[in-house]
Amino acid sequence: GAVVSQHPSRVICKSGTSVKIECRSLDFQATTMFWYRQFPKQSLMLMATSNEGSKATYEQGVEKDKFLINHASLTLSTLTVTSAHPEDSSFYICSARSGGGSVEQFFGPGTRLTVL
Amino acid sequence: KQEVTQIPAALSVPEGENLVLNCSFTDSAIYNLQWFRQDPGKGLTSLLLIQSSQREQTSGRLNASLDKSSGRSTLYIAASQPGDSATYLCAVASGAGSYQLTFGKGTKLSVIP
C-alpha cells in the first residue's frame, strides 16, 4: 500500500513554456502533499506544502507565482512550472501524507525536468 | 531551523564489509527519523523509519539507531553487497503541524565486488 505516482517521469521543454507535473496517491487519501526539488549531487529541498482544498505554503525563496501548486482533491496535487528557464531544470519529487495522526510521507518516483 | 548533516559524503568499501553511515541533526525535537535509498536518477526508497520514542529499527541486513538527545543516528549495513551501491539519505520529521522532512545531503556508497 501507500503508493504515490508522478507523471510525467521525464519532460523536456523550451524556455518560456509552462510544464505541469502531477502527483497522485493511488491507494490512500492524502490530506497533505509536499513538493521537493533536487539539484545534481544535492539533497532534497522542500519547496512547498499543500493541504487539500487550501492554498499551498511555500518555503522561503520559492516563488509562488512561478511554481503554482494545486491540491484540489485528496488524491491529486499538481505543480506547474510557469515560464520555465534553464535554471529550473531539476528533479522534482512529491510526497504525500495521509494525516489522521500519521506523520510518515510516501514519495513519488520523481520527474526530471530539462529546460532548453 | 533544523539542519541535517551526513558523514561521510562518499564511501567505498569492498564487498562483504560491514559499514556505518552517520547522520546528525541540530534540533532534537523530532517526530521521527527516516533513512532512504536513492539510486541514480530515481526516486526515494524508504529503508527504515524510527519514531522519536524508539532507539533502533532493523530490517534484514540494515539496522538504524537513534539517539535523539544527542541528535545522532547511524545506519549499519552488514555484509555489504554490490547491489547496496546507492546514495543513502537521512531525513528528520519536525515542525508543528506539517511534520516537514529535512534531508541531509546523503552518503554515496560504492560496494566494490
Report d(CA A74, CA A77) in Å as an integer.
8
Residue in the block written with cell 507565482: A65
Got the DSSP string for B31-57?
Answer: SEEEEEEE-TT--EEEEEEEETT-SEE
Buried b (16+ CB within 10 A) or exposed e, A40-77: eeebbbbbbbbbbeeebbbeeebeeeebbbebeebbbb
pLDDT at A1 exceeding the cut of 70: no
Determine the 3-state secondary structure of A86 from DSSP. Answer: helix
Q: In 10 A of CB A37, how many CB atoms?
A: 20
pLDDT band at A68 (very low <50, low <70, confident <90, very high): very high
For B105, name the nearest residue in chain A, comparing CA atoms only: A43
**Which of A93, A97, A104 has its CB closest to that of B43?**
A93
List B50's β-bridge partners, or say none: B33
Report d(CA B54, CA A98) in Å as an integer.
22
For A43, name the nearest residue in chain B, comparing CA atoms only: B105
pLDDT band at B97 (very low <50, low <70, confident <90, very high): low
User: In the predicted model, what is the mean pLDDT of chain B?
Assistant: 94
Contact partners, residue A70, CB within 8 Å, separation at least 6: A50, A77, A78, A80
Q: In A, which residues are within 8 Å of B89 by CB distance?
A: 43-44
User: In the predicted model, what is the mean pLDDT of chain A?
Assistant: 92
